Amino acid sequence: MSGGLLVAGTTSDAGKSVLTAGICRWLYRRGVKVAPFKAQNMSNNSVVVVGPDGRGGEIGRAQAMQAAACGIAPDIRFNPVLLKPGSDYSSQVVLLGEAIDTVTAGNYRSLRPRLAETAFATLAELRGEYDAVICEGAGSPAEINLRDGDFVNMGLARNAGLPAIVVGDIDRGGVFAALFGTVALLSPEDQALVSGFVINKFRGDLGLLRPGLDMITGATGRPVHGVLPFNADVQVDGEDSLAYGQLLGRPGSPRGTEWLRVAVIRLPRISNATDAEALASEPGVQVRLTIEPAEVADADLVVLPGSKATVSDLAWLRETGLADAIRVHAAAGKPLVGICGGFQMLAETINDEVESRRGVVPGLGLLPVEVTFGARKTLARSQGAAWGQVPVSGYEIHHGYVSGGAPEPMLRYSDGTPEGAVVGAVCGTHWHGAFESDEFRRRFLTDAARQAGRAGFVVAPDTRFAAVRELALDTLGDLVEEHLDTDALWRLIESGPTPGLPFIPPGAPGAVAPTTSAPGAAAPTTSGSGGQGADVR
């Protein structure tokens, strides 16, 4: 069996995805045959992967990004379970790339044993093929109400005998309490696997932080394997909703005399917001995620992104006044693009008996198409062209399809089949990832600037999105090599958990503490929380 490591975190968005990618890139550059793994994702940011049988399947975009860090093609096994929230109470379950059910917090429990079995078996299979598998946890391993049946954090580590490191985001404050508390709320068996810490997003003088590093090591008996500095130049696919602030990326100075301002509507159930990151890679293009009608009014280009709940998010647009702001923007002849669910919202009508089950509802009426939702989900990698000869590629993840209307298409598939719609400065497509095609993106932005009256905007002729991504991954690899104890990390990956780690009381509620502790740690004073069981959802 190959080596492995679990990268856990004190919270969501603590840096698990980027640290996993950085470790993967460091190992890849050392000549190690390495693969990423996340047993279960909860994210609406997914990508279509085509398996050996030619069938398309979904995995989280973060795992596709990590696969790129490993220098390999993405594989549905890298993320065997994907939960795609459609509301606050339900999620679609994707198992090994295929949607199998929609569950609530209540009935998820009955499905969990099947998901766990698949995740454990898939990791074992990957460890038989690769020299190392770097696993990413989810949320926090100290979510004590979810520990029973956990198979993505310490449940995975215990099943596979993996060492774990815990990463904390110091930019949020309270990182030492978070690191200590994470370990102290784990059972003795789980604590025995937690072999060190990494601190993320540090700014300032490391000398001022060092006493704290020594203290957390003394308090837990576990070393800090390094401190990663804050680096605003690292822009990779986000996974959690927390990863999206107002401004995407760090836009470079414009090549011309004017900026192009882009407003991306931050829908409640936004999916694949990563589509906008390719636009944000362009010099002179300022991309903001927004829920403010005033920012829509001020934008040159408006993007309606994908949604996991098209009809519900459309109702939200109307309730917030954003629908009116979008109509005013379009009426002024300024450019507007809808992607997947956003495209569907621009239609005359939406007939949805699948996702929301609300039947026929009016769309925004900005494109002369009718959309119907089908039970079968379209999952495909797509190739084609725009403007007759500009190559474009992307991927499709949608239940809705155009069932009426025959507008001018925005794109055409390689066989000439029309896709999407264009009316004046308003357009839409079901294709995600189209803006990652460099020539297409440049032409689109040039047209958008003209329609918005930004004559001084000049698109950069040399931005290559694939190169931007590679640079970000190399930067992550550099950060790992320069700021982490890579010898210690390799020992964990190769040899497993550090033996003799001390128990930190109180431990998980209801867990029985060991009667002795290792040298250097305080003796346990309690056996838990009076036998209270975990409140499993």
Q: Which residues are catalytic?
A: 340, 432
Distant-in-sequence, close-in-space partners of 110: CB < 8 Å, separation ≥ 6 = none
Q: At 121, list the tokens.
A: 């078996």
Q: At 234, list the tokens.
A: 């690292």
Q: Could you tell me where the DSSP H helices lie in 421-531?
A: 438-452, 465-483, 486-495
User: Residue 512 is which amino acid?
Assistant: V
How many Å apart are CA 244 and CA 14, to the nearest integer? Answer: 13
Pick from 102, 129, 9, 115: nearest CA to 62: 9
φ and ψ at residue 437, rounded to 5 degrees: -80, 115
Distant-in-sequence, close-in-space partners of 124: CB < 8 Å, separation ≥ 6 = 1, 160
| 373 burial type by CB count under 10 A (0-12 exposed, 13-18 middle, 19+ buried) | buried
Q: Report the Cα 59 to chain-centroid distance in Å.
A: 10
How many Å apart are CA 423 and CA 413, to the nearest integer? Answer: 19
Pick from 423, 422, 448: nearest CA to 279: 448
Please list the residues that pair with 263 across neighbouring strands. 288, 302
Distant-in-sequence, close-in-space partners of 102: CB < 8 Å, separation ≥ 6 = 86, 90, 91, 92, 93
* SS3 state of residue 261: strand
CB 269 within 8 A of CB 241: no
CB atoms within 10 A of CB 41: 27
Beta strands in 305-369 (DSSP E): 306-307, 336-339, 349-352, 359-362
| 383 burial type by CB count under 10 A (0-12 exposed, 13-18 middle, 19+ buried) | middle
Q: Could you tell me where the DSSP H helices lie in 11-59?
A: 16-29
